[in-house]
Amino acid sequence: MLDAIRSLLGGAPAPAPTRASLPEGVDPAHVAACALLLDIAWADGEFSAAEKSHLESVLGRHFGLDAEGGERLLAIAEQERVRSVDHFSFTSVLGRNYDVGQKMVLAEVMWGMVLADGQIADHEQYLTRKISNLLDLPPAYLSAAKAAAEGRRAGG
Q: What is the pLDDT of residue 99?
A: 94
Q: What is the pLDDT of residue 23?
A: 78
Domain ranges of the chain: 27-151
- Cβ contact 103:94 at 8 Å: yes
- Cβ contact 115:46 at 8 Å: no
Q: Give Cβ neighbours of residue 89 (< 8 Å, ≥ 6 apart).
A: 13, 14, 15, 16, 17, 32
Helix axes 100-115, 122-134, angle to 10 degrees: 170
Per residue of the chain (156 residues), what is the pLDDT tens digit?
A: 444 444 445 544 455 565 556 777 789 999 999 999 999 999 988 899 999 999 999 999 999 999 999 999 999 999 999 999 899 999 999 999 999 999 999 999 999 999 888 888 889 889 999 999 999 998 888 888 888 888 887 765
**27-151: in CATH 3.30.460.20:** no
Torsional class of 10: left (φ above 0), alpha (ψ -120 to 50), beta (otherwise): left
Q: How many CB atoms lie within 10 A of CB 82?
A: 11
